[in-house]
Amino acid sequence: MDVYGLIGHPVGHSLSPPMHEAGYDALGLDARYVTFDPGPDAAAEAVESAATLGVAGLNVTIPFKQDVLDVVDVDPLAGRIGAVNTIDFGPLHAEKADRPRGYNTDAAGVTRAFEHHDVALDGRDAVVVGAGGAGRAAAFALADAGATVHVANRTAERAKALADDVPDGTGDGLSDLGEHVASADVLVNATSVGMEAPDETPVSADHLHADLAVLDAVYTPIETRLLREAAAAGATTVDGAWMLLYQGVEAFEIWTGETAPVDVMNDALRATLD
């Protein structure tokens, strides 16, 4: 049996086990997906222990996505983003490599979520609100897909630093966010604003419009105020579970080498959100 899993602190809230296990069952794979909380400071040690125990793959969540950079062979995209959320132990065995390989599939989570909703990204103007882990993944994903990216963040210096790393990126604080959104084609909320707080939104409804496609990375609640107001403005809306699904689909495909059963995994994920 192959063992996959998630390390984080905490991990009790994770929606990944049922989603991945539904995928294994659909493909007849003898595999299980479990969660590990190694405590606040033990991510690197946990990855090394997982390798010794023969774990086949790990997802990595808050607060460890940067901590594990030192113990994996970092894929170039994950290196540019500066965070790893998927570790594949396969190369350790198949290629006798020194370290497992570390990827960032949050970026594919963003682009594949838009692709699923027939939202074109090449040549479009995109705004990313947030410059933390999800914001960095979204900004690189959109730029690599051909969009021109503006990053807006509460802490302006973080937005500017991220924009400097992204091809043709610009970055600033939140004061001009409305104007950027009003002329944009694509908007990603990569802040935690709206999470468990249905009355909060990072973007005023006045600036939302029918030519916009909006992805909210927040998935608790699944329908945020931002998405509700974007739908009312006639925008295309993409909820955070699509990003969560496709980051998982991408990890599943890296680990197993199989095409993931996306519909089955989506049904399992949506069932846990009901």
- Catalytic site residues? 65
Tokens in use for 120? 């074109």
Asked if residue 114 binds ligand NAP (CB under 6 A), the reply is: no
x/- contact string, 225-254, with ligand NAP (CB under 6 A)?
A: ---------------x--xx--x-------
Asked if residue 152 binds ligand NAP (CB under 6 A), the reply is: no
Asked if residue 219 binds ligand NAP (CB under 6 A), the reply is: yes
- 228's CB contacts (< 8 A; 6+ apart) are none
Asked if residue 222 binds ligand NAP (CB under 6 A), the reply is: no
C-alpha–C-alpha distance, residues 196 and 132, integer Å: 18
Q: Binders of ligand NAP among 57-76, rule CB under 6 A?
A: 62
Q: How far is the CB of 233 from ligand NAP (least distance, A)?
A: 21
Residue carrying the six token digits 């970055």? 171
Nearest position to ligand NAP, beta carbon: 132
Asked if residue 201 binds ligand NAP (CB under 6 A), the reply is: no
Decide whether 56 or 193 has the Cβ nearer to ligand NAP. Answer: 193
Asked if residue 131 binds ligand NAP (CB under 6 A), the reply is: yes
Decide whether 219 or 255 has the Cβ nearer to ligand NAP. Answer: 219
Pairing of strands 86-88, 101-103: antiparallel
Asked if residue 38 binds ligand NAP (CB under 6 A), the reply is: no
Asked if residue 135 binds ligand NAP (CB under 6 A), the reply is: yes
Options 49, 66, 155, 183; binder of ligand NAP; rule CB under 6 A:
155
Q: What is the per-residue burial (b if ≥16 Cβ within 10 Å, else e) of 110-142? A: bbbbbeeeebebeebbbbbbbbbbbbbbbbbbb
Asked if residue 132 binds ligand NAP (CB under 6 A), the reply is: yes
User: In whole angstroms, how large is the CA radius of gyration of the chain?
Assistant: 18
Name the residues that contact ligand NAP, by CB under 6 A.
62, 106, 109, 130-135, 153-155, 158, 190-193, 195, 217-219, 240, 243-244, 247
